[in-house]
Structure 1
Amino acid sequence: MVTLRTYVFLDRLQPQLASYIGTTSRGFLPIPFDASLFVEIAPGLAINRITDVALKATAVAPAMQIVERAYGLLEVHHAEQGEVRQAGAEILRYLEIEEHDRMKPKIVSDQVIRSVEPYQAQLINRIRFGSMIIPGESLFILETEPAGYVAFAANEAEKAARVTLVEVRTFGAFGRLYLSGEESEIDSAREAAISAIESLSAGGRNS
């Protein structure tokens, strides 16, 4: 039986998130303001069939298909929101479930570090795939479960505040987001990210 861990629609990929996906993905890269859908399931191998269903039914393009033993993640995108929504509908139809059956996301942890010290900024910059954090900026870190929902949090935070996307990990046991910027902007981004996660309703279990 397939468990729908993440199912979340992003209406307009914000420029930094779209660029980050383009930097880290091996598929067909999105451009800013494409619509996007993130689907995460368990077990991971079943994501191959999910990708097949979406691509045969619509004109969406996949940026990511990540297959792990436990979980699998698919991202698809298109300039037209209708194509992306239809891809999602076809996936749900194939799985014989509804969007509400997805697992409800939860925030595992969140923290803000004010005025990051130079040495810590260097440590973070060595592991990031996004932009660099500058010493003296504030840093917001968010962890979600399931992992895929952190993309939605990142996108909504970028809409709400002038922040820098340092790192976002959308697969694995937990999703993780790093944003940097001025203190007031980071506070606004944190509020938007947390509100985004809390706004997602679901009826599936969360383990």
Structure 2
Amino acid sequence: MTTAKDLFIIAMDLKHSVGQGDLSLALAGAELIDLIGAEAVAVDGDRIVPGGPPTLDDRFMDEAAAALTRQAPYERIEDWLWRRGRDLSAAYQAALEENGELKPQRSGRLSFGSERVEPVDTPARRRATDRWKEKEPVLTALASVVGIDDERSDEETGLDDEAVTTVVAAVHDAVMELEAVRQRRTIENAAFANLWRGP
């Protein structure tokens, strides 16, 4: 199990409305944090310095490690988040559905309507839930960045690793940047609509 998978399960489980783009950025950050923990990468300032191959038995972690830039000056964390994060949430959902770890759930009592998915009760889900209940610092910090806080207090997350703190801060900045882009598009679209309506 990985932090990214746990984060995805928690997002599905708590049924918070999390944007796919926000979640994808956080998942990329979670993968990077697990790569740091596996000593497959190190962080030097705002750059990702590759190390040895990851020892985690996980397809997504293998893909993440394979996608690392292995030549100096290496890739900036923020650039990694945007590049690796592209459609990552959808990829996790597809993989979990394929493994039978997510099941369709129809909203409302009628048989038609938007189809959602929810986690199946598996050891992976129980592990993610346990980490969440224990307020595991990395999982809690990443969840908070995308707006999943389960009405928790704003106490310190307790991140005691400088590299991990740097990654979480970069995820936060990327999510804020994405929100700014959304707001700008909304304003531009509204202005365009008003232009066509005329005075």
Give TM-score scaled by structure 1 length: 0.27
Q: Which has the higher contact order (CA 8 A, sep 6+)?
A: 2
Of the two, which has the highest radius of gyration?
2
Richer in strand (by share): 1
Give TM-score scaled by structure 2 length: 0.28
